[in-house]
Amino acid sequence: MFRKQDFKKVDLLGSGKKNTKIYKAEHIPTGKYYALKEVEAKTLEKLNEYKVSKLENLSHHMCSHC
């Protein structure tokens, strides 16, 4: 399981909707690079809203390919 403290942000790659930022990040234990999505949520409720909307989008995308 990945933990936030196991990554070092290297470069900002871009930003998206709903206060999200995408970083190039190094996984310190392995030296591998990943894209790290950071979501800024002022409240837990906002974070949960973001998660639900992402699941709905994923579900819709998967169903459209059936």
The domains of the chain are located at: 4-64
29 contacts: CB under 8 Å, gap ≥ 6: 6
Structure tokens of 36? 């790290």
pLDDT tens digits along 40-62: 777 777 777 766 676 656 555 55
Residue 32 pLDDT > 70, yes or no? yes
Q: What is the pLDDT of residue 18?
A: 72
DSSP 24-53: EEEETTTTEEEEEEEE--SSHHHHHHHHHH
Extract long-range pairs of 51-57: CB within 8 Å, 24+ residues apart.
53/18
The pLDDT of 10-16, averaged and rounded, is 92
Question: For tokens 């709903």, what's the residue?
Answer: 18
Residue 26 pLDDT > 60, yes or no? yes
Homologous superfamily (CATH) of 4-64 is Phosphorylase Kinase; domain 1 (3.30.200.20)
